[in-house]
Amino acid sequence: MTGMKEKKIKKIGVLTSGGDAPGMNAAIRAVVRTARYHDIDVVGIRKGYAGLIGGEIKEMYSKDVSNVMNLGGTILHTARCPEMMTEEGLDKAAAIYKILGLDALVVIGGDGSYRGLAELSKRGVNGIGIPATIDLDMCGTEYTIGFDTAVNTGMDALNKLRDTSNSHERCSVVEVMGRDAGYIAVWCGMCGGAEEVMFPEEKEVIDSNKVIQQILENRSIGKRHNLIVVAEGVGGTQKLAKDIQEITGIQTRATILGHLQRGGSPTATDRMHASMMGYYAVKAILDGRQNVAMAYNNGKYEVLDLLESMEMKKTLDQEIYDVIKVLAI
């Protein structure tokens, strides 16, 4: 804890917002315990911004975050908040922040949560963002809490589907989460040994005809089962499975993993990143930083300006897909 610049910080709030992600509890734990170590009071806000507006708050102590690192989901719960899309809702949230006497508000969530935090920062709220989404689609950071667990959950499902597909010489088409980004799909495809991956960044190039052609080519060289991964941002999983079966005659099954990937005990990777980002969030507050976002880039944790981080660009490394194709032969 050395090197922290002492500030007269008395009280902070913490909430989780948007879709839940494995590792959120580890981040909450780190925020609460780091703050308490420095004699800062912590208010836990339930159900995200909706709880802030609705006044669903509770004082949090170190004991309140015992035995939570292994839990999926979020002990503070989360919810979508339409009111945060209105001027009235934003004004009310900022007013309650001030009524509570908070010196900072730590928000653990995705890009939508950051947008809400950015709006609150214009109304006098000192917002501190911690990136948490299984989709890995947030700009300014190479890693977001929950991604590794979601990929491992997807990979485990692919392993099981491979077993049964191999036994029946079937084709399995598996849809994974990721919203409009293909990170989960590409990682699951690589680590699960898929022969084709359909993801949003390449949906104009990788169509069903190309997938079917790949399946037929692989069958012609003796492959007896097939595994195709589809990102939810591409969709059409059921139709693709039907087309494959009708055109090739190969028995094909579609599996949509859905919210299964949001749950489960977080991996060591997610626990580590969540714990470090939670610690650095409080450190930033103690250092007098205003309206910043935690990030992990080039092997180091960083503190970025919130608004600047949201304007940064991020692209999926297309070479991963190229490698998948080489290894799928």
Per-residue model confidence as pLDDT tens digits over 56-84: 999 999 999 999 999 999 999 998 899 99
Q: Which two tokens stand for residue 296?
A: 């992990």
Long-range own/partner contacts, residues 210-213 (CB < 8 A, 24 or more apart): 211/240, 211/244, 212/243, 212/244, 212/247, 212/248
Per-residue model confidence as pLDDT tens digits over 93-106: 999 999 999 999 99
Delineate the domains of the chain, giving CATH numbers in brackets. Answer: 11-146+266-311 (3.40.50.450), 148-262 (3.40.50.460)
Helix (H) or strand (E) holding 176: strand 171-176
Identify the pLDDT of residue 2.
47
Identify the pLDDT of residue 130.
98
198 and 143 in contact (C-beta within 8 Å)? no
- In this model, does residue 267 exceed pLDDT 90? yes
> From CA 263, how far away is CA 19, in angstroms rounded?
11
Q: What percent of the chain has pLDDT over 70?
A: 98
- In this model, does residue 203 exceed pLDDT 80? no
User: Could you give the 3-state DSSP secondary structure of residue 296?
Assistant: strand
What would the mean pLDDT of 144-169 be, rounded to a whole number? 96
> From CA 60, how far away is CA 62, in angstroms rounded?
7
> From CA 262, how far away is CA 283, in angstroms rounded?
29
Q: How far is CA 190 from CA 33, 55, 63, 155, 229, in A?
A: 38, 45, 41, 9, 10
What is the DSSP code (8-state) at residue 261? G
- In this model, does residue 1 exceed pLDDT 90? no
What would the mean pLDDT of 119-130 be, rounded to a whole number? 98
- In this model, does residue 88 exceed pLDDT 50? yes
Q: Which two tokens stand for residue 278?
A: 């939670």
- In this model, does residue 131 exceed pLDDT 80? yes
Instruction: Give 326: exposed, middle or buried? Use CB within 10 Å, 0-12, 13-18, 19+.
Output: exposed
Q: Residue 6's pLDDT band (boundaries 50, 70, 90)? A: low
Residues assigned a catalytic role: 135
What would the mean pLDDT of 275-286 be, rounded to a whole number? 98
Q: Which two tokens stand for residue 172?
A: 């399995």
Q: CA neighbours within 13 Å on the CB side: how many for 323?
A: 10
- In this model, does residue 5 exceed pLDDT 60? no
Identify the pLDDT of residue 202.
85
First to last CA, the chain: 51
Question: 132, 136, 72: which is closest to 278 by C-alpha?
Answer: 132
Question: 63, 64, 52, 60: which is closest to 93 by C-alpha?
Answer: 52
What would the mean pLDDT of 149-159 be, rounded to a whole number? 97
Identify the pLDDT of residue 80.
85
Beta strands in 22-142 (DSSP E): 41-45, 57-60, 104-109, 127-131
- In this model, does residue 7 exceed pLDDT 80? no
Higher pLDDT, 214 or 304: 304
